[in-house]
Amino acid sequence: MKLFAYALRPYDELPVLKKIADEAGFSFNWTSDYPNEENVALAQGADALSIITNPMPASLLDTYHALGIRAIATRSIGYDHIDVEHAHALGMRIAHAAYPPEGVADYTIMLMLMALRRAKLIFSQNAVQNFDLEGKIGRTLSSCTVGIIGTGAIGSQVAQELSGFGCKILAYDPYPNDKLSETVSYTSLDALLSASDLVTLHAPGLPENYHLIGAREFNLMKSSAILINAARGMLVDTNALIDAIESGKLSAAALDTVEHESNLYYQNKSLSVLPNRDRALLMAYPNVIVSPHMAFYTEEDVEGMVRSTTYALQAFLNNQTSAYEVL
């Protein structure tokens, strides 16, 4: 296998890929730049690409296919940034990543606790030496009803970890997980939204889940409720979220992902004017936490992402199946 890796981080992903290449005996080249029409030639001679959450539209896929690329793997669980249908039409096989669910689950619960205890407000006021207690009172997680939307690997792990806090746990998923029968109570989406103090999203970024949470759903939620999203930005209608926060229909939100974040994260943008007004607006609210899509970012998860996608590409080029293939 001749692999070319785009947007590879030299401080964490590169050592893992080097180790895998030494173990499996393949060669690779890489760049820290994202793939685009201007740097396509960097992949000359390769037959597979490793990418991250950058857009791969039909036009770019055509260019890589003409170059000889036959397989692409994204080092992320989500793959909605790739035009998979067009890739398949070209005969290109696509894979996504898998990694242990504990990292995202831990981060999700951290966001819950930060939102419940008004951590953003407390720390910002602490920085200007305002040590007054007014407006900073929090709530305990054990007193809350938590609604989990999506009980796949990560949602199930969140449920297991939450069980230690003593809170009531509701869940909604079209395909309930029988292993959680003693941990959660499955219910309808509307019933979950109406009863929950915290609503946490762990549904996949599929077309049918686009704006799963919008104006209608916010109207069903308690005015004291908190929304947590460490899954995919497209699950939430951002305009409806902003309206809910500004009108007081929603108490707070803690977001590790927002809409339209492609080509935004994992780069130093400190000197840039970012083309994402909604994110800037959400960042300005004292009761909304926005972090840069890094719930996955643990040593264990990074290794899992690089390994799973590299193994998938090896399988593809050997005409084998892979559990990580996007069909």
**Burial class of 32 by CB neighbour count within 10 A (0 to 12, 13 to 18, 19+):** middle
Nearest to 57 by CA among 82, 93, 22, 74: 82
| Whether 81 is catalytic | no
Which of 230, 228, 223 has its CA nearest to residue 246?
223
In angstroms, rounded to a whole number, what is the distance separating the alpha carbons of residues 268 and 215? 34
For residue 12, count other CB atoms closer than 10 A to its CB: 13
Q: Is 232 a catalytic residue?
A: yes
Query: For 78-99, b where at least 16 C-beta lie within 10 A, e where not — what string?
Result: bbbbbbbebbeeeebbbbbbbb
User: 189 φ, ψ to 5°?
Assistant: -60, -45
Phi, psi angle pair for 30, to nearest 5°: -155, 165
Catalytic residue among 102, 161, 261, 325: 261
CA distances from residue 182 to 5, 44, 159, 163, 169 in whole angstroms, order as listed = 43, 54, 11, 10, 10
CA distance 254 to 257: 9
Spatial distance between the Cα atoms of 301 and 305, rounded to a whole number of angstroms: 6
C-alpha distance from residue 199 to each of 50, 193, 232 (Å): 34, 7, 14
Options 75, 81, 202, 232, the catalytic residue: 232
Q: Which residues contact 145 (CB under 8 A, 6 or more apart)?
A: 167, 168, 169, 170, 195, 196, 197, 198
Active site residue 70: no
How big is the CA angle at 313 (ends 311 and 317), to the nearest 5 degrees? 120
Catalytic residue among 81, 118, 202, 293: 293
User: What six digits make up the tokens of 272?
Assistant: 């840039």
Distance CA 310, CA 71 (A): 11
Looking at the annotation, which residues are catalytic? 232, 261, 293
